[in-house]
Structure 1
Amino acid sequence: MPGDSSLPEKRPDGKRFDGGSPHPELRASHADRDRVVDVLRVGAGDGRLTAVELDERVEAALAARTLSELTALTADLPPVSASGGAVLGEVKDVLRIDQRFSPVERAGRWAVPRRLELATEFCEVTLDFTQAVITQDTLRIDMEMHGKNLTLITAPGIVVDADALNLAFSKVRIHHPPNPDTPVTLRVELTGKKTFGRVVVRRPRRSPGQWLLRKPRHL
Protein backbone atom coordinates (compact mmCIF):
# COMPACT_ATOMS: atom_id res chain seq x y z
CA MET A 1 0.00 0.00 0.00
CA PRO A 2 1.31 3.52 -0.78
CA GLY A 3 1.06 4.62 2.84
CA ASP A 4 2.48 1.44 4.39
CA SER A 5 5.44 2.59 6.52
CA SER A 6 6.59 -1.01 7.17
CA LEU A 7 8.22 -1.23 3.74
CA PRO A 8 11.87 -0.09 3.62
CA GLU A 9 12.66 3.06 1.65
CA LYS A 10 15.77 1.70 -0.08
CA ARG A 11 16.95 -1.52 -1.71
CA PRO A 12 20.28 -3.19 -0.82
CA ASP A 13 21.87 -1.35 -3.79
CA GLY A 14 20.94 2.01 -2.23
CA LYS A 15 18.18 2.90 -4.72
CA ARG A 16 14.79 3.96 -3.47
CA PHE A 17 11.74 1.81 -4.00
CA ASP A 18 9.27 3.32 -6.47
CA GLY A 19 6.15 2.01 -4.69
CA GLY A 20 5.45 -0.54 -7.43
CA SER A 21 8.66 -2.55 -6.98
CA PRO A 22 8.00 -6.28 -6.45
CA HIS A 23 11.39 -6.77 -4.66
CA PRO A 24 11.42 -5.32 -1.12
CA GLU A 25 14.66 -5.39 0.84
CA LEU A 26 15.61 -8.89 1.97
CA ARG A 27 15.00 -9.74 5.60
CA ALA A 28 17.78 -11.21 7.75
CA SER A 29 17.58 -14.73 9.16
CA HIS A 30 18.88 -16.00 12.51
CA ALA A 31 21.81 -17.60 10.65
CA ASP A 32 22.64 -14.24 9.00
CA ARG A 33 22.74 -12.54 12.39
CA ASP A 34 24.89 -15.29 13.88
CA ARG A 35 27.43 -15.03 11.05
CA VAL A 36 27.76 -11.27 11.56
CA VAL A 37 28.18 -11.70 15.32
CA ASP A 38 31.01 -14.18 14.65
CA VAL A 39 32.75 -11.69 12.34
CA LEU A 40 32.40 -8.96 14.97
CA ARG A 41 33.94 -11.17 17.65
CA VAL A 42 36.88 -11.98 15.38
CA GLY A 43 37.33 -8.26 14.68
CA ALA A 44 37.38 -7.53 18.40
CA GLY A 45 39.87 -10.34 18.95
CA ASP A 46 42.11 -8.75 16.28
CA GLY A 47 41.95 -5.42 18.11
CA ARG A 48 39.90 -3.76 15.35
CA LEU A 49 36.96 -3.10 17.68
CA THR A 50 36.92 -1.95 21.28
CA ALA A 51 34.85 -3.82 23.84
CA VAL A 52 32.27 -1.00 23.78
CA GLU A 53 32.05 -1.10 19.96
CA LEU A 54 31.71 -4.87 20.06
CA ASP A 55 28.82 -4.70 22.53
CA GLU A 56 27.06 -1.99 20.51
CA ARG A 57 27.41 -3.82 17.20
CA VAL A 58 26.43 -7.21 18.57
CA GLU A 59 23.30 -5.65 20.06
CA ALA A 60 22.52 -3.99 16.71
CA ALA A 61 23.15 -7.26 14.83
CA LEU A 62 20.77 -9.22 17.03
CA ALA A 63 18.10 -6.56 16.51
CA ALA A 64 18.69 -6.14 12.74
CA ARG A 65 15.74 -6.85 10.47
CA THR A 66 17.38 -6.59 7.04
CA LEU A 67 20.56 -7.76 5.34
CA SER A 68 21.68 -4.20 4.63
CA GLU A 69 21.56 -3.38 8.34
CA LEU A 70 23.87 -6.33 8.99
CA THR A 71 26.18 -5.40 6.12
CA ALA A 72 26.70 -1.94 7.59
CA LEU A 73 27.95 -3.44 10.85
CA THR A 74 30.89 -5.20 9.17
CA ALA A 75 31.57 -2.78 6.31
CA ASP A 76 34.82 -1.56 7.93
CA LEU A 77 36.07 -5.06 8.85
CA PRO A 78 37.95 -7.49 6.59
CA PRO A 79 36.38 -10.84 5.73
CA VAL A 80 37.30 -13.43 8.33
CA SER A 81 39.02 -15.65 5.78
CA ALA A 82 41.27 -12.73 4.74
CA SER A 83 42.28 -11.64 8.21
CA GLY A 84 44.96 -14.24 8.66
CA GLY A 85 44.03 -17.57 7.19
CA ALA A 86 41.59 -18.96 9.74
CA VAL A 87 37.95 -19.22 8.76
CA LEU A 88 34.86 -19.57 10.87
CA GLY A 89 34.18 -22.99 9.42
CA GLU A 90 37.31 -24.27 11.18
CA VAL A 91 36.01 -23.39 14.64
CA LYS A 92 35.15 -26.67 16.37
CA ASP A 93 32.66 -27.25 19.13
CA VAL A 94 35.09 -29.67 20.81
CA LEU A 95 38.81 -30.11 20.17
CA ARG A 96 40.50 -33.06 21.88
CA ILE A 97 44.28 -33.21 22.32
CA ASP A 98 45.47 -36.64 23.46
CA GLN A 99 49.25 -36.84 23.55
CA ARG A 100 52.20 -38.44 25.38
CA PHE A 101 55.83 -37.36 25.89
CA SER A 102 55.96 -34.61 23.22
CA PRO A 103 55.21 -30.89 23.40
CA VAL A 104 51.87 -29.39 22.35
CA GLU A 105 51.61 -25.81 21.07
CA ARG A 106 48.84 -23.69 19.63
CA ALA A 107 50.07 -20.27 18.52
CA GLY A 108 49.57 -17.67 15.79
CA ARG A 109 46.14 -17.47 14.16
CA TRP A 110 44.63 -20.70 15.41
CA ALA A 111 40.89 -21.09 15.75
CA VAL A 112 39.89 -21.35 19.41
CA PRO A 113 37.29 -24.12 19.87
CA ARG A 114 34.26 -23.74 22.09
CA ARG A 115 35.58 -26.51 24.34
CA LEU A 116 39.02 -28.09 24.64
CA GLU A 117 39.68 -31.55 26.04
CA LEU A 118 43.31 -31.83 27.12
CA ALA A 119 44.55 -35.35 27.94
CA THR A 120 48.37 -35.43 28.17
CA GLU A 121 51.17 -37.19 29.99
CA PHE A 122 54.55 -35.50 30.45
CA CYS A 123 53.83 -32.99 27.65
CA GLU A 124 54.71 -29.32 27.82
CA VAL A 125 51.52 -27.57 26.61
CA THR A 126 51.44 -23.95 25.40
CA LEU A 127 48.26 -22.15 24.33
CA ASP A 128 48.95 -18.66 22.96
CA PHE A 129 45.78 -16.56 22.66
CA THR A 130 47.41 -13.29 21.58
CA GLN A 131 46.70 -13.78 17.84
CA ALA A 132 44.09 -16.52 18.04
CA VAL A 133 40.74 -16.34 16.24
CA ILE A 134 38.19 -16.08 19.06
CA THR A 135 34.50 -16.32 18.15
CA GLN A 136 32.91 -16.79 21.58
CA ASP A 137 33.24 -15.26 25.02
CA THR A 138 33.96 -18.47 26.97
CA LEU A 139 36.37 -21.37 26.49
CA ARG A 140 36.17 -24.39 28.77
CA ILE A 141 39.31 -26.53 29.04
CA ASP A 142 38.64 -29.98 30.52
CA MET A 143 42.01 -31.29 31.69
CA GLU A 144 43.43 -34.66 32.57
CA MET A 145 47.07 -33.58 32.54
CA HIS A 146 49.88 -35.47 34.27
CA GLY A 147 53.36 -33.95 34.51
CA LYS A 148 55.02 -30.94 32.85
CA ASN A 149 53.44 -27.46 32.59
CA LEU A 150 50.45 -25.84 30.95
CA THR A 151 51.27 -22.29 29.83
CA LEU A 152 48.49 -19.89 28.80
CA ILE A 153 49.71 -16.73 27.04
CA THR A 154 47.02 -14.09 27.32
CA ALA A 155 46.26 -10.48 26.43
CA PRO A 156 44.24 -7.75 28.19
CA GLY A 157 40.60 -8.80 28.40
CA ILE A 158 41.38 -12.54 28.64
CA VAL A 159 40.63 -13.93 32.10
CA VAL A 160 41.58 -17.39 33.36
CA ASP A 161 39.41 -19.05 36.02
CA ALA A 162 41.07 -22.07 37.70
CA ASP A 163 38.75 -22.34 40.72
CA ALA A 164 37.20 -25.62 39.47
CA LEU A 165 40.56 -27.24 38.66
CA ASN A 166 41.62 -30.14 40.90
CA LEU A 167 45.35 -29.83 41.71
CA ALA A 168 47.55 -32.68 42.94
CA PHE A 169 51.22 -31.89 43.59
CA SER A 170 50.73 -28.95 41.27
CA LYS A 171 50.01 -25.23 41.44
CA VAL A 172 48.61 -22.31 39.44
CA ARG A 173 50.61 -19.15 38.91
CA ILE A 174 48.95 -16.08 37.35
CA HIS A 175 51.55 -13.40 36.60
CA HIS A 176 49.05 -10.69 35.60
CA PRO A 177 45.83 -10.66 37.66
CA PRO A 178 42.86 -9.31 35.66
CA ASN A 179 42.30 -5.56 35.74
CA PRO A 180 38.71 -4.87 36.89
CA ASP A 181 38.60 -1.83 34.58
CA THR A 182 39.32 -3.93 31.44
CA PRO A 183 36.23 -5.46 29.74
CA VAL A 184 36.41 -9.26 29.54
CA THR A 185 36.55 -10.53 25.93
CA LEU A 186 37.32 -14.19 26.71
CA ARG A 187 36.92 -16.20 29.90
CA VAL A 188 38.98 -19.40 30.03
CA GLU A 189 37.55 -21.89 32.54
CA LEU A 190 39.89 -24.68 33.68
CA THR A 191 38.28 -27.87 34.97
CA GLY A 192 39.41 -31.46 35.52
CA LYS A 193 42.69 -32.50 37.15
CA LYS A 194 46.33 -31.38 36.93
CA THR A 195 48.88 -33.69 38.55
CA PHE A 196 52.49 -32.55 39.04
CA GLY A 197 53.86 -29.52 37.20
CA ARG A 198 52.32 -26.07 37.01
CA VAL A 199 49.69 -23.99 35.27
CA VAL A 200 51.25 -20.67 34.27
CA VAL A 201 49.22 -17.70 33.01
CA ARG A 202 51.33 -14.90 31.57
CA ARG A 203 51.56 -12.20 28.92
CA PRO A 204 53.84 -12.47 25.85
CA ARG A 205 57.54 -12.03 26.59
CA ARG A 206 59.06 -8.71 25.61
CA SER A 207 61.48 -8.57 22.71
CA PRO A 208 64.93 -6.98 23.26
CA GLY A 209 63.69 -3.83 21.54
CA GLN A 210 60.67 -3.60 23.84
CA TRP A 211 62.92 -3.92 26.89
CA LEU A 212 65.03 -1.01 25.62
CA LEU A 213 61.94 1.14 25.02
CA ARG A 214 60.25 0.39 28.34
CA LYS A 215 59.59 3.34 30.62
CA PRO A 216 62.12 3.77 33.44
CA ARG A 217 60.84 3.44 36.97
CA HIS A 218 60.67 6.58 39.10
CA LEU A 219 62.76 6.35 42.24
Structure 2
Amino acid sequence: MRAADTDRIQVAQLLTDAAASGKLGVTEYEQRLTRAYAAETYDELDRLSADLPGAVTRGRGGPCRPAPSSVLLAILSGFERRGRWNVPKKLTTFALWGGGVVDLRYADFTAHEVEIRAYSVMGGQTILVPPEVNLDVQGRAVMGSFDHHIDGNGSPGAPCVRITGLSLWGSVAVKRKKRKGS
Protein backbone atom coordinates (compact mmCIF):
# COMPACT_ATOMS: atom_id res chain seq x y z
CA MET A 1 0.00 0.00 0.00
CA ARG A 2 1.11 3.55 -0.75
CA ALA A 3 2.32 5.62 2.18
CA ALA A 4 0.99 9.10 2.86
CA ASP A 5 2.91 12.26 3.76
CA THR A 6 1.79 11.87 7.38
CA ASP A 7 3.34 8.39 7.52
CA ARG A 8 6.65 9.72 6.21
CA ILE A 9 6.54 12.54 8.80
CA GLN A 10 5.90 10.02 11.61
CA VAL A 11 8.89 7.92 10.56
CA ALA A 12 11.04 11.06 10.26
CA GLN A 13 10.11 11.97 13.85
CA LEU A 14 10.93 8.45 15.04
CA LEU A 15 14.33 8.66 13.30
CA THR A 16 14.96 12.05 14.91
CA ASP A 17 14.14 10.57 18.33
CA ALA A 18 16.65 7.76 17.70
CA ALA A 19 19.35 10.21 16.59
CA ALA A 20 18.72 12.49 19.57
CA SER A 21 19.08 9.57 21.99
CA GLY A 22 22.30 8.34 20.32
CA LYS A 23 20.82 5.20 18.76
CA LEU A 24 21.63 6.48 15.25
CA GLY A 25 24.72 8.38 14.15
CA VAL A 26 24.26 11.60 12.19
CA THR A 27 25.30 10.06 8.86
CA GLU A 28 23.00 7.04 9.23
CA TYR A 29 20.20 9.33 10.43
CA GLU A 30 20.50 11.56 7.35
CA GLN A 31 20.61 8.55 5.01
CA ARG A 32 17.52 6.97 6.57
CA LEU A 33 15.72 10.32 6.66
CA THR A 34 16.33 10.86 2.94
CA ARG A 35 15.02 7.35 2.20
CA ALA A 36 12.00 7.89 4.48
CA TYR A 37 10.96 11.05 2.63
CA ALA A 38 11.35 9.22 -0.71
CA ALA A 39 9.50 6.08 0.45
CA GLU A 40 6.36 5.24 -1.47
CA THR A 41 5.05 2.22 0.46
CA TYR A 42 4.45 1.25 4.08
CA ASP A 43 6.91 -1.63 3.72
CA GLU A 44 9.72 0.78 2.83
CA LEU A 45 8.92 2.91 5.88
CA ASP A 46 8.68 -0.12 8.17
CA ARG A 47 12.12 -1.39 7.03
CA LEU A 48 13.68 1.99 7.90
CA SER A 49 12.35 2.01 11.45
CA ALA A 50 11.91 -1.67 12.43
CA ASP A 51 15.12 -1.79 14.53
CA LEU A 52 14.27 1.34 16.55
CA PRO A 53 12.51 1.55 19.90
CA GLY A 54 8.94 2.79 19.54
CA ALA A 55 8.62 1.50 15.98
CA VAL A 56 5.11 0.38 15.22
CA THR A 57 3.23 -0.35 12.07
CA ARG A 58 2.36 3.03 10.61
CA GLY A 59 -1.01 4.66 11.22
CA ARG A 60 -1.74 4.32 7.52
CA GLY A 61 -2.43 7.85 6.40
CA GLY A 62 -4.16 9.35 9.41
CA PRO A 63 -4.96 13.06 9.33
CA CYS A 64 -2.01 15.41 9.53
CA ARG A 65 -2.14 17.63 12.62
CA PRO A 66 0.37 20.40 12.10
CA ALA A 67 1.65 22.44 15.03
CA PRO A 68 -0.28 25.71 15.51
CA SER A 69 0.83 28.78 13.56
CA SER A 70 3.49 30.82 15.34
CA VAL A 71 4.98 34.30 15.31
CA LEU A 72 8.59 35.11 16.25
CA LEU A 73 9.29 38.78 17.02
CA ALA A 74 12.54 40.71 17.46
CA ILE A 75 11.90 44.37 18.17
CA LEU A 76 15.14 45.95 19.39
CA SER A 77 16.00 42.41 20.47
CA GLY A 78 16.37 38.94 19.01
CA PHE A 79 14.72 35.57 18.60
CA GLU A 80 16.13 32.07 18.18
CA ARG A 81 14.46 28.81 17.29
CA ARG A 82 17.10 26.07 17.41
CA GLY A 83 17.39 22.44 18.36
CA ARG A 84 14.41 20.12 18.51
CA TRP A 85 11.07 21.87 18.03
CA ASN A 86 7.84 21.35 16.08
CA VAL A 87 7.74 23.35 12.86
CA PRO A 88 4.23 24.71 12.28
CA LYS A 89 2.56 24.77 8.89
CA LYS A 90 2.70 28.61 9.03
CA LEU A 91 5.43 30.60 10.73
CA THR A 92 5.79 34.39 10.66
CA THR A 93 9.05 36.07 11.66
CA PHE A 94 9.52 39.81 12.15
CA ALA A 95 12.75 41.65 12.97
CA LEU A 96 12.65 45.43 13.58
CA TRP A 97 16.07 46.76 14.56
CA GLY A 98 16.79 43.28 15.79
CA GLY A 99 17.73 39.86 14.55
CA GLY A 100 16.78 36.23 14.61
CA VAL A 101 17.65 32.68 13.67
CA VAL A 102 15.26 29.92 12.59
CA ASP A 103 17.17 26.63 12.47
CA LEU A 104 15.22 23.77 10.83
CA ARG A 105 18.09 21.25 10.84
CA TYR A 106 17.01 19.39 13.99
CA ALA A 107 13.33 20.33 13.96
CA ASP A 108 10.35 18.01 13.56
CA PHE A 109 8.20 18.87 10.55
CA THR A 110 4.50 18.50 11.37
CA ALA A 111 3.31 19.27 7.84
CA HIS A 112 4.62 18.35 4.41
CA GLU A 113 4.36 21.97 3.23
CA VAL A 114 5.57 24.78 5.48
CA GLU A 115 5.14 28.50 4.83
CA ILE A 116 7.53 30.95 6.46
CA ARG A 117 6.73 34.65 6.11
CA ALA A 118 9.90 36.58 6.99
CA TYR A 119 9.94 40.36 7.46
CA SER A 120 13.04 42.41 8.34
CA VAL A 121 13.03 46.18 8.79
CA MET A 122 16.50 47.53 9.54
CA GLY A 123 17.25 44.14 11.07
CA GLY A 124 18.34 40.73 9.94
CA GLN A 125 17.44 37.10 10.21
CA THR A 126 18.83 33.78 9.07
CA ILE A 127 16.86 30.66 8.14
CA LEU A 128 18.90 27.44 8.16
CA VAL A 129 17.53 24.40 6.33
CA PRO A 130 18.92 20.85 6.17
CA PRO A 131 20.11 19.43 2.83
CA GLU A 132 17.06 17.21 2.19
CA VAL A 133 14.39 19.93 2.52
CA ASN A 134 12.95 21.43 -0.69
CA LEU A 135 12.87 25.24 -0.92
CA ASP A 136 10.79 27.84 -2.71
CA VAL A 137 11.98 31.38 -1.89
CA GLN A 138 9.86 34.29 -3.13
CA GLY A 139 10.77 37.22 -0.84
CA ARG A 140 11.44 40.80 -1.91
CA ALA A 141 14.02 43.35 -0.79
CA VAL A 142 13.98 47.14 -0.82
CA MET A 143 17.38 48.66 -0.10
CA GLY A 144 18.30 45.39 1.61
CA SER A 145 18.73 41.73 0.73
CA PHE A 146 16.54 38.63 0.54
CA ASP A 147 18.39 35.44 -0.49
CA HIS A 148 17.07 33.67 -3.58
CA HIS A 149 20.09 31.66 -4.69
CA ILE A 150 20.36 28.72 -2.34
CA ASP A 151 22.77 25.94 -3.27
CA GLY A 152 21.53 22.42 -3.81
CA ASN A 153 18.17 20.76 -4.22
CA GLY A 154 16.13 18.87 -1.67
CA SER A 155 15.23 15.19 -1.76
CA PRO A 156 12.14 13.81 -3.50
CA GLY A 157 9.26 13.55 -1.04
CA ALA A 158 10.95 15.71 1.62
CA PRO A 159 9.03 18.62 3.15
CA CYS A 160 8.81 21.81 1.09
CA VAL A 161 9.49 25.13 2.82
CA ARG A 162 8.10 28.22 1.06
CA ILE A 163 9.69 31.44 2.22
CA THR A 164 8.03 34.75 1.38
CA GLY A 165 8.25 38.20 2.89
CA LEU A 166 10.00 41.54 2.70
CA SER A 167 13.32 43.00 3.72
CA LEU A 168 13.41 46.79 4.06
CA TRP A 169 16.88 48.13 4.85
CA GLY A 170 17.58 44.73 6.34
CA SER A 171 18.30 41.16 5.36
CA VAL A 172 16.78 37.69 5.22
CA ALA A 173 19.46 35.04 4.67
CA VAL A 174 18.43 31.51 3.70
CA LYS A 175 21.16 28.89 3.94
CA ARG A 176 21.29 25.15 3.34
CA LYS A 177 23.50 23.73 6.07
CA LYS A 178 24.43 20.18 7.10
CA ARG A 179 23.86 18.92 10.62
CA LYS A 180 26.91 18.84 12.89
CA GLY A 181 28.84 15.61 12.69
CA SER A 182 27.88 14.78 9.09
TM-score tier by shorter-chain length is 0.5 to 0.7
The 3-state SS of whatever aligns with 2:13 is helix
Residue number in structure 2 paired with 1:177: 151
Change (3 A) 1:74 1:197: same
Change (3 A) 1:205 1:114: closer
1:166 partner amino acid: R
Question: Are the equivalent residues in 2 in contact too, given 1:144–1:194 (CA < 8 A)?
Answer: yes
The 3-state SS of whatever aligns with 2:70 is strand
Alignment match of 2:119 (pick from 122, 138, 144): 144
Question: Are the equivalent residues in 2 in contact too, given 1:157–1:184 (CA < 8 A)?
Answer: no
Q: For the residues of structure 2 that align with 1:52 and 1:109, how far apart are their CA atoms? A: 21
1:55 partner amino acid: A
Q: For the residues of structure 1 that align with 2:110 and 2:179, how far apart are their CA atoms? A: 27
Cα displacement string for residues 17-66 of structure 1 (whole angstroms, at most 9, x for unaligned residues) = xxxxxxxxxxxxxxxx886443213246653624344433xx434xx9xx
Residue number in structure 2 paired with 1:192: 165
2:9 partner amino acid: D
Bigger share in strand:
2
The 3-state SS of whatever aligns with 2:30 is coil
Q: For the residues of structure 2 that align with 1:166 and 1:197, how far apart are their CA atoms? A: 11
Alignment match of 1:55 (pick from 28, 38, 45): 38
In our comparison, the structure showing a higher alpha carbon Rg is: 1
* Structure 1 position 140, deviation (Å): 0.5
Question: Are the equivalent residues in 2 in contact too, given 1:36–1:74 (CA < 8 A)?
Answer: no
Is 1:107–2:78 an aligned residue pair? Answer: no
* Structure 1 position 126, deviation (Å): 0.6
* Structure 1 position 113, deviation (Å): 1.1
* Structure 1 position 141, deviation (Å): 0.9
Identity percentage of aligned residues: 22
* Structure 1 position 198, deviation (Å): 1.6
Question: Are the equivalent residues in 2 in contact too, given 1:159–1:178 (CA < 8 A)?
Answer: no
Tell me the TM-score normalized by structure 1. 0.56
Cα displacement string for residues 149-184 of structure 1 (whole angstroms, at most 9, x for unaligned residues) = 121122212243222x2321121336751247x446
Is 1:38–2:9 an aligned residue pair? Answer: yes
Q: What are the ranges of 5 or more consecutive residues in structure 2 without an aligned counterpart? A: 17-28, 56-64
Cα displacement string for residues 94-149 of structure 1 (whole angstroms, at most 9, x for unaligned residues) = 11223411111111112111110223312211111221112333210123331221
Q: For the residues of structure 1 that align with 2:168 and 2:15, how far apart are their CA atoms? A: 35
Tell me the TM-score normalized by structure 2. 0.65
Q: For the residues of structure 2 that align with 1:128 and 1:37, how far apart are their CA atoms? A: 21
Q: For the residues of structure 1 that align with 2:169 and 2:142, how far apart are their CA atoms? A: 6
Change (3 A) 1:167 1:37: same
**Higher RCO (CA-CA < 8 Å; seq separation 6+):** 2
Q: What are the ranges of 5 or more consecutive residues in structure 1 without an aligned counterpart? A: 1-32, 65-69, 81-89, 211-219
